Amino acid sequence: MSDNWIEFFSLDADEQGAAQLIDAQVQWLLDREIIAHAASPDEFLGAYREGPRRVDAFDMAAIPDSITADGKQTLFDGVRVEKGWQVSHNIDGFEGPPCPICGSWMATDVAGDALRRWYVSQVEPEVECANCGHADLLGNWPHKFAGYANYASLLFVNSWPLSPQFERELLGRIGNRPGVVYVRL
Ligand SMILES: [Zn+2]
């Protein structure tokens, strides 16, 4: 499995609020024993590793048998926290999001330009669908392989897909406008 991560963030929290929101999720993951403190924190893998109850975050039926055959189930390599104004975006295979009204895809270069404007201005841009004319803030066009600006994020590094139920639960804890992207390097 090549390097990847699943990155969670809030679209509307300010700098202080976003940091508090992400810290609260780290504590929640520690309390649920999905993660544990790392003996040696790592720049890429972060300060947390798999916890004793890590399987609670996954649908084990969806994980290939080959990685569980030896009894060692590596479901993710680490959990990392990023703080400060940033863009969270897929790298290998970045895609524009589909229109939330008609489903037609935003061109990749249009999405990339809007994302750059968002990062530079720190103001979320409004984008318009080339097909139906629907206009809304870029963050209201959710897509796992696109990108969004934010003030803090929580990343499952080198992770198998989380269970849909766990992903919904975590998103539900991240404020009014939560977001998630799947990043492949
Ligand atoms: Zn549309």
3-state secondary structure 24-65: HHHHHHHHCCCEEEEEEEECCCEEEEECCCHHHHCCHHHCCH
pLDDT of residue 13: 96
What is the maximal distance between C-alpha atoms in the chain?
53
Confidence (pLDDT) at 66:
61
CB 109 within 8 A of CB 78: no
* Average confidence (pLDDT) per 10 residues, the chain, 185 residues: 90 97 98 97 97 94 70 87 98 96 98 98 98 98 98 97 97 96 96
For tokens 């897509």, the residue is 143
Question: What pLDDT score was predicted for residue 65?
Answer: 72
Distance (Å) from CA 50 to ligand 1 centroid = 41
Question: Which residues, 6 or more positions from 140, have their beta carbon under 8 angstroms from its beta carbon?
Answer: 100
Ligand 1 centroid – CA 105 distance (Å):
8
Retrieve residue 170's tokens.
Answer: 């975590």
Q: Look at residue 60 in the predicted model and tell me its pLDDT.
A: 87
Q: Residue 136 contacts by C-beta under 8 Å, 6 or more apart in sequence?
A: 100, 126, 127
What pLDDT score was predicted for residue 121? 98
Determine the distance separating the centroid of ligand 1 and the alpha carbon of 130, expressed in angstroms.
Answer: 7
Provide the terminal-to-terminal Cα distance of the chain, rounded to the nearest Å.
11
Distance 129 CA to ligand 1 centre (A): 5
Predicted pLDDT at 2: 73
What is d(CA 44, CA 51) in angstroms, rounded to the nearest whole number?
A: 18
Q: What spacing in Å lies between the alpha carbon of 126 and ligand 1's midpoint?
A: 13
Q: How far is the CA of 85 from the centre of ligand 1 (A)?
A: 29
pTM over 0.85: yes
- In the prediction, which pLDDT does 71 show? 63
Q: Is 134 exposed, middle or buried (0-12, 13-18, 19+ CB in 10 A)?
A: middle
Compute the distance from residue 90 Cα to the ligand 1 centre, in Å: 22
CA–centroid distance, 143 to ligand 1, in Å, is 14
Ligand 1: centre distance to CA 177 (Å): 21
- What pLDDT was estimated at residue 61? 87
- Picking from 92, 135, 88, 86, the residue whose alpha carbon sits closest to that of residue 110 is 135
